[in-house]
């Protein structure tokens, strides 16, 4: 187990190094930071001065080393557009995105798993057939269209829910939360539904397919032959094995949620990291783009590593196979 953990961490560190190198190359070759940071009428001396102070005259390798060292400490320099440290901008925006993704992920799991179980146990029922059609639509309709339609229905026509922003937020020592005010909670509803919908249909289809597969397995047949009640059979024995692959896919999809939050945040003008990133892409604000890339990759790598470890904890077969394989 320890060796496995170590190997995974080395692998994760390598991926992060590659990502950081890409970020550095973006810094180095995209636009001139000097002309972006100084006003148009700066003198030649002022430019040369800043160039020297930022260390842009140093050898390539020195600059690369410094970039990696700074990035490891969360320092990505100044945003070209806002003239503020990138790390401050990201830290400010992070809670908004984290809360949105958290609510959407819980929603997707809380609805997707029961619906998947239901459609697997009653595959011929009209509710199941209807859900299959809805999930096909859910995969083909672009998420931003879903968001716009939600706004059109619940904000414009019915006027029930707000269509932009986070509502009232409470500052808990650097972490702003929308969970503690009524308007904050109301503002979360539409964006999290939009973000969750695609994941929910995905989880539903996955649970359904896995459950149908598991129900055909021999151990279920034997249990049924022994006269075990259906409820116990389905929920105690079948469900456990169904959820293992679901866990993996969901872990990977959590990264997808962070990426798709970019679209959700744009539709609902949600003041999160994705909205910041889109503005950075629009204005070619390289430091913000690079920092977002590194931060998101870091989250992906952490999530993937945790999922891999959990997999080992949950599925004993995997542990046995690995240890015997290594013993040979």
Contact positions vs another protein (CB under 8 A): 15, 18, 26, 29-31, 136-137, 139-145, 148-149, 151-152, 156, 163, 255-256, 259-260, 262-263, 266-267, 277-278, 280-282, 284, 286, 289, 293, 296-297, 300, 304
Long-range contacts of 134-141 (CB under 8 A, 24+ apart): 134/201, 135/201, 135/204, 135/205, 138/197, 138/198, 138/200, 138/201, 139/198, 139/201, 139/202
177 and 95 Cβ atoms separated by less than 8 Å: yes
Residue 176 pairs in a beta bridge with: 171
Q: How far is the CB of 163 from another protein (least distance, A)?
A: 8
Residue 285 gets which letter from DSSP?
A: -
Q: How far is the CB of 23 from another protein (least distance, A)?
A: 10
Residue that the structure tokens 């005010």 belong to: 181
- For another protein, the closer of residues 169 and 261 by Cβ is 261
181 and 93 Cβ atoms separated by less than 8 Å: no
- For another protein, the closer of residues 7 and 240 by Cβ is 7
The Cα–Cα gap between 104 and 86 comes to: 26
Q: Cα-atom radius of gyration of the chain, to the nearest Å?
A: 25
Q: How far is the CB of 83 from another protein (least distance, A)?
A: 18
Q: How far is the CB of 149 from another protein (least distance, A)?
A: 7
- For another protein, the closer of residues 33 and 184 by Cβ is 33
- For another protein, the closer of residues 139 and 313 by Cβ is 139
- For another protein, the closer of residues 27 and 118 by Cβ is 27
């Amino acid at each position: 187990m320890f060796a496995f953990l170590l190997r995974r961490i080395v692998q994760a560190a390598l991926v992060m190094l590659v990502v950081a190198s890409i970020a550095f190359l973006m810094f180095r070759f995209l636009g001139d930071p000097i002309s972006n940071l100084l006003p148009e009428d700066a003198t030649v001396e002022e430019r040369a001065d800043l160039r020297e102070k930022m260390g842009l005259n140093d050898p390539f390798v020195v600059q690369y080393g410094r970039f990696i060292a700074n990035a490891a400490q969360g320092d990505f320099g100044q945003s070209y557009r806002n003239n503020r440290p990138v790390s401050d901008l990201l830290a400010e925006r992070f809670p908004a995105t984290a809360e949105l993704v958290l609510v959407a992920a819980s929603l997707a799991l809380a609805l997707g798993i029961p619906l998947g179980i239901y459609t697997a146990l009653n595959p011929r029922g009209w509710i199941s057939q209807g859900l299959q059609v809805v999930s096909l639509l859910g995969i083909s309709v672009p998420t931003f269209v879903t968001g716009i339609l939600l706004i059109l229905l619940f904000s414009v026509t019915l006027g029930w829910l707000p269509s932009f922003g986070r509502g009232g937020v409470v500052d808990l020592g650097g972490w702003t939360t929308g969970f503690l005010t009524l308007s904050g909670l109301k503002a979360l509803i539409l964006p999290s539904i939009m973000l969750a919908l695609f994941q929910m249909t995905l989880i539903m289809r996955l649970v359904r397919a896995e459950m149908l597969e598991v129900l055909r397995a021999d151990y279920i047949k034997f249990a049924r032959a022994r006269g075990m009640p259906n409820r116990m059979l389905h929920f105690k024995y079948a469900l456990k094995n169904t959820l293992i692959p679901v866990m993996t896919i969901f872990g990977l999809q959590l990264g997808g949620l962070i990426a798709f939050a970019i679209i959700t945040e744009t539709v609902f003008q949600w003041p999160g990291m994705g909205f910041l990133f889109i503005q950075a892409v629009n204005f070619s604000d390289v430091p913000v783009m690079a920092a977002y890339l590194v931060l998101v990759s870091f989250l992906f790598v952490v999530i993937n590593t945790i999922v891999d470890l959990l997999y080992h904890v949950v599925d004993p077969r995997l542990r046995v196979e690995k240890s015997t394989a290594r013993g040979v």
